[in-house]
Amino acid sequence: MKKIVNLTLLVSMATLSSCVSKKKYVALEDQYNETRSALTKTQLEKEEIEAKYAQIEERVANYNAKIKSLSEANTDLENNSLRNYGNVVLSKKDKEQMKEALAKVDPQELAQARTLEDSLNLIISHNLKKNLDETLVAEGEEDDIAIDVDETVVMITISDKLLFTSGSSKVNPKADRLLQRLADVINSEPAMEVLIEGHTDSKTVKPGSYVKDNWDLSVQRSTAVIRKLQNDFNVEPSKLIAAGRSSYEPIAGNDTADGRSKNRRTRIVILPNLDKFLALLSAN
């Protein structure tokens, strides 16, 4: 009987122990499932927050880029020298050098500049005209030489009585001093091309003359000046352009001797080369 009681007790204890363990297991399992569900929910919330944060970062980056662009554009407008020209990109050093150069230009002329091309032309033409005014026009030559700037291109008009004898394309030796000074100005500024343009009056060439007509004479006079600049005064030939306009661009009437004298002229047009100028800025 005693053995039966002990056995019953053992069975009861084992059963009780088994019941407690199962409850704990179920509780732990429920807790695990709840934790896993919470973790999954947290992970999803984290991914949503990260996605929103990435969107905010992108928007901030776009805003900063716009602010930078507007700031640079504002600086460009203020300096009047930092605008786009084709595909040219100006470095910070280029911009600083241009700003310094533009500070020397007449403020009224600078106010008319609307593009980078205008600004570069202003710098070059300002320097050239300053040098020409100071060194080219000698005493007694004022009536034979005119210096003008049209849309920032420098134009020098020289009467033929100073350069040539009537009907001839041979350069007068008395013009050597003038051409030397002109060559010095051209050589002082690498960022340019120079157009030498011959003009005549409307009088026809005498039969049997060594020139065929006024076209021929205007071109021969232009190339004669170019050869002098190249051969005698060391101007780089790649910078020189020859042109003849015959009598078809008169600046006065051809019905008077005075008018015909004004029409017989050589015009020297100094054209800024913007690509070379930018290269010079970058090289300094």
Within-domain flag for 143? yes
Whole-number Å distance between alpha carbons of 260 and 46: 90
Q: 208 or 152: whose pLDDT is higher?
A: 208
Residue 25 makes CB contacts below 8 A (sequence gap 6+) with none
Quick one: 98 and 156 in the same domain? Answer: yes
pLDDT average, residue stretch 197-220:
89
- pTM for the structure as a whole: 0.57
Whole-number Å distance between alpha carbons of 127 and 281: 15
Q: Residue 265: pLDDT band by 50, 70, 90 thresholds?
A: very high
Residue 116's closest CA among 106, 130, 127, 102? 102
The tally of domains found in the chain comes to: 2
Quick one: 141 and 271 in the same domain? Answer: yes
Tens-place pLDDT, residues 130-178: 666 656 666 666 667 887 776 667 788 888 888 887 668 889 888 888 8
Mean pLDDT of all residues belonging to the chain: 75
- 27-41, 219-233, 261-275: the lowest-pLDDT one: 27-41
Residue 194 makes CB contacts below 8 A (sequence gap 6+) with 186, 229, 235, 239, 240, 241, 268, 269, 270, 271
DSSP state of 169: -
Quick one: 238 and 103 in the same domain? Answer: yes
Quick one: 62 and 194 in the same domain? Answer: no
Domain hosting 41: range is 1-79
